[in-house]
Structure formats: C-alpha cells, structure tokens
Amino acid sequence: MMTQQPHGNGGMPHDPSHLNQLLQKGIDAHRQHRLDDARKIYELILQMNPSHPQAAHYLGLIEREQNQLSHACELFEIALTGTPDDAALHYNLALTQQQLGHRESAIKHYHRATTLQPNFPQAYNNLGVILQECGLQEEAAKQFRTALKYDPRRAETYFNLSRSIRYHEENDDIVRIQGLLKQNQLSQSETSKLHFALGKIFDDLKKYDIAFEHYRQANLHSPAYFDPDTFRGFIDDLCATFSKDFFEHHRYFGNSDRRPTFIVGIPRSGTTLVEQILSSHSKIYGAGELDYFNTIAAAIPRITGTSSLREAYAQFDRNLSYQIARNYIHNINQLAPSAEIFIDKAPLNFLHLGLITLVFPKARIIHVKRDPVDTCLSCYFQNFNEQHAYAADLNSLASVYEQYQKLQQHWQQHLPNTIYTVEYENLVGDTELESRKLIQFLELDWESNCLDYHRQLRRVSTASSWQARQPVYKRSVARWRHYEKHLQPLMHLRK
C-alpha cells in the first residue's frame, strides 16, 4: 500500500506569505527525506495556525511513516476540516485507519477518495483488501477489477484478485498476466507477485505442474534471504537456555492472569482456523497475529545489556517480567476489557514460549499440527514477508520444520504450562468434536456459534484470509500428493 506524498505548495490564499514560504521549505525537506527538519517546520506552522490543512496533512504523513498511527489520524482529521474534498487526504486517512484495524472508517474514506478521484487504482485495491479480509470476496474482486481498469499493469492487484475468486476455467486474467511478464519491465517483487497469481489460478484449474512452475518462479524472484545454520544455532540456544532448572528458578516470575492464550505452530498449519472457531465464542476475543512477544524477544539482549541469548535471560529479573506483562495486559484491556479469554495467534510465538511462560506462567498454549509436507507446501505457495524468508526455498523449509519439531518437543518436556495439541486433519475431519475439546481446554461452556465461524464478519488479516471465510473443507488434506514429484526435499519429513 502506498502513501500519497506532498506534491505542491498548497498555500492557502488568505495565509500570510511567510506561512506559504515555510510550507514550501517543509515540503522540500520532506521530499529529501529530511523528516526531522520537515516535522519542525510543519509543527511551527501549526503553532501559528492550528487548523492549517496542508501542514496537518503532511505532518500526518510523517507520523504515519514513524508508526504514530493514532496521532496521524488526528492530524488528517484536522486537515479534512479545511480541505474536505482532497482525495489524497481521504486516501491517507483510510490507509492509516486500515493499519489500525478501523475497518468501517477506512472503507468510508476509500469510497470518498474514489468518488472525488475515480481514477485512483491504489484506493480501489486497498478497499478490495479490506473487503477480502471481511470475507466479502465478490465485492473485493469488483474493487480489484476496477483498480486494474485504471492501472492494468498493477502486479499487486492481480495477486490480490487471484485470491478473491476461485477459477474454474482459463480466462483473460491469465493472458494479461502472461503479457506483463513478457515485457521485462518489472521489479523482482512485481514479477514474484504475478507468478504467485498464476500459481494460484492454475492450482484452482488443477493444472498442478504448471502451477508449481509458477510458484517456483515466484519464489526465485523473492528478495528474501535465509541462513539455516544461524536459525539452527538459535534453536540450540533456546533449548540450552530454557531448561527445567531455569523454569524452576523463575517459578515466581510474571503475572498470573489466565486470560492470555497463545495459538502457535508453523505458519499454514491451521492456526487461523483454530482462532476463528474459538473467537466465535462469546467469551473469547481473537486479537489476530500480535507482534508483541516477537518484538520483546528481539529487545531482551539490549534491555539487559548483554550480547547473547543465554546471558540475556541470566540477567532477566522479576521486575522486567512484571513490566512486560503489565504492558501486555494494558493492550488486552484496551482491545477486549470484558473477554474471559484473549487469543494471540502469532504462529511464530512457538519460538518465544520460554519468554511467554516467564511473563504469564498460567497462560494457555494451543499448538496446531498439520501434515509436515502439506504445511511446507502451503508456506511455499504464500507470498510471505521477510520474516518468513525460509518459505522461498524447499530445503530451507525442511530445515526450519525440523528445528520447529525439535523445539516443540523441548517445550513439551520442559515448560511448566500445559500445551494442548490439536491436529489439523482431525479438526477438519470432525470439527465439532475437536472444537468441543478446545472449548473444554479453555474451561468454557460450549456454544454452537463456534461451528459458524465462517459467518463472522471480524477482520482476518492473514495469508489464509480466503480460507478462513469458508466452511471447513478437506481439499487441503494430503494436498501434497498433487505435487509429490516436485517435493523431494520435503518428503523425509513424513517419516
């Protein structure tokens, strides 16, 4: 998604001339990426004129870029009072609201942006993404096709479109995408997205060899880099650090709140399905994939003033565990103050279960397992971000899966918390039985809504948002058999 940047002096006709001069200096600094200088100038203008629309708009862009999203929205709202018909301003407010998860407001402002400026392909694309996350696939596809009407070269939109519909026959989408690929004027990222789109289309059409070749090309053009040896060393350090003696020594650390519940597993193992089922219960809040513990884990060495993982946790004290818990509980209370269970579904939290246990010793942990080859294949077919760089190579996927199995076995043996394991194949085979077991594990009464999870309109921001909106289906079980001859680096995982 792209931000609409400053594009002119925008001086107000009744402003003193020095304000216009200041604004132009701010815009020049902004264009040159001297954000601190630009910020100071915009803030100075707003001190002189608190409702100055251009200064508020452009300062909001800086706040958004620096992840101060709520303040950015406030600034955009100020700007709108002075320039209510600025399409770029409505777009930037919508984009920021979208990042905050404020779906209804984002939809409203995207619609306003496209009304004011019908030729606005990125606004149509982003609106389609929100509708897709809400399960409104047909409406999403219409927005993507409108975006392509105005910009038929937009690789991102073809990628999104391919995931909003199920293809039953070849159509012009294939011809257009193939035409773009032949032009050799694309970035690595654009080429990758177009191949991912064709992979999805040909997989729908059951032309599996053609589909796999496109997925292979998509991953070859991925800029991601992954070092299996470094990851292996990290897992070894985790196992050496978080021993039974370690947890015994730290048994009085953390917060005893039982609300936090963590769903973990390798991505594409079924964690989203489990969260959707559980969050359909009236007493459970599904927060999606929070990055909290990933961020904290990365910061622990710096916080403790050490250089290695083992040294960091040797210096980890009770006050730090309380502080981390307090901040997390604050977030829970902001998002879901009345929920009895709060679900954090970041699959890679399987790496951070030691830290999570220090912070929340009574937290519940749900581990989702799926056939290893199906899991790895599904990862290979996803256009993941750099955090999942391993997914672009089958050998790296196999290595990561082996290390995940090793670590999960370690947690099962050493964590004081109870880990409940649910197998994806069992869940799709008898959804009600396995769902009842999950609800029982969380010590709640059963509610039939849990079986109607696909009808819920809550936002699903994940690579599997399309599947999360469908009733349970079994097409993804043993899917690897369609691609077996291409998957030699993975096949030993099934033994």
How far apart CA 456 and CA 463 sit, in angstroms, is: 18
Amino acid 345: pLDDT: 95
Do 202 and 325 fall into the same domain?
Answer: no
Do 257 and 352 fall into the same domain?
Answer: yes
The Cα-based distances of 329 to 181, 293, 339, 359 in angstroms read 48, 13, 12, 11
- Last residue in a domain, options 223, 247, 266: 223
Average pLDDT over residues 31-58: 94
| 19: pLDDT strictly greater than 90 | no
Do 154 and 28 fall into the same domain?
Answer: no
How far apart CA 383 and CA 219 sit, in angstroms, is: 8
Do 291 and 193 fall into the same domain?
Answer: no
Amino acid 202: pLDDT: 98
DSSP annotation string for 60-115: HHHHHHTT-HHHHHHHHHHHHHH-TT-HHHHHHHHHHHHHHT-HHHHHHHHHHHHH
| 169: pLDDT strictly greater than 50 | yes
How far apart CA 443 and CA 439 sit, in angstroms, is: 6
Do 86 and 204 fall into the same domain?
Answer: no
Do 278 and 209 fall into the same domain?
Answer: no
Query: Is 123 within a domain?
Result: no
| 34: β partners | none
Amino acid identity at 168: H
How far apart CA 263 and CA 347 sit, in angstroms, is: 7
Do 412 and 324 fall into the same domain?
Answer: yes
Amino acid 424: pLDDT: 96
Do 176 and 233 fall into the same domain?
Answer: no
Nearest alpha carbon to residue 321 among 349, 298, 296: 296
Amino acid 469: pLDDT: 47
- Last residue in a domain, options 118, 146, 165: 118
Do 78 and 157 fall into the same domain?
Answer: no
Q: CB count, 10 Å around CB of 276?
A: 22
How far apart CA 321 and CA 325 sit, in angstroms, is: 6
Do 154 and 103 fall into the same domain?
Answer: no
Q: Which residues does 227 contact at the CB level (< 8 Å), separation at least 6? A: none
| 14: pLDDT strictly greater than 50 | no
Average pLDDT over residues 404-414: 96
Residue 391 · residue 384 · CB < 8 Å: yes
Average pLDDT over residues 257-264: 96
Better-scored residue on pLDDT, 257 or 478:
257
Query: Is 59 within a domain?
Result: yes
Residue 219 · residue 246 · CB < 8 Å: no
CATH number at residue 356: 3.40.50.300
Average pLDDT over residues 91-107: 93
| 10: pLDDT strictly greater than 90 | no
- Last residue in a domain, options 223, 252, 270: 223
Amino acid identity at 365: I
Do 11 and 140 fall into the same domain?
Answer: no
Amino acid 430: pLDDT: 94
Q: At what angle do helices 35-48 and 17-31 cross, to 10 degrees?
A: 160
Q: Which domain holds residue 178?
A: 129-223
The Cα-based distances of 69 to 61, 288, 397 in angstroms read 9, 18, 35
How far apart CA 98 and CA 4 sit, in angstroms, is: 15
Amino acid 364: pLDDT: 96
DSSP annotation string for 205-238: TT-HHHHHHHHHHHHHT------HHHHHHHHHHH
* Sheet order of strands, 341-344 included: 284-286, 341-344, 260-264, 364-369, 419-423
| 407: β partners | none
Amino acid 402: pLDDT: 97
Query: Is 437 within a domain?
Result: yes
CATH number at residue 162: 1.25.40.10
Query: Is 194 within a domain?
Result: yes
Share of the chain above pLDDT 90, in %: 81
Confidence of residue 474 (pLDDT cuts 50, 70, 90): low
Q: CB count, 10 Å around CB of 19?
A: 19
Lowest mean pLDDT among 50-59, 381-390, 430-439: 381-390
* 49, burial (CB in 10 Å: exposed 0-12, middle 13-18, buried 19+): middle
Query: Is 124 within a domain?
Result: no
How far apart CA 186 and CA 317 sit, in angstroms, is: 51
Do 232 and 219 fall into the same domain?
Answer: no
| 429: pLDDT strictly greater than 80 | yes
Amino acid 13: pLDDT: 45
Query: Is 421 within a domain?
Result: yes
Q: How many domains does the chain have?
A: 3
Average pLDDT over residues 144-168: 96
Give the model confidence (pLDDT) of 202-260 as tens digits.
Answer: 999 999 999 999 999 999 998 778 999 999 999 999 999 999 999 999 989 999 999 99
CA torsion, ordered 124, 127, 129, 130, to nearest 10 deg: -170
Confidence of residue 472 (pLDDT cuts 50, 70, 90): low
Better-scored residue on pLDDT, 461 or 154:
154
Confidence of residue 418 (pLDDT cuts 50, 70, 90): confident
How far apart CA 239 and CA 340 sit, in angstroms, is: 32
Average pLDDT, the chain: 91
Amino acid identity at 272: T
How far apart CA 51 and CA 315 sit, in angstroms, is: 49
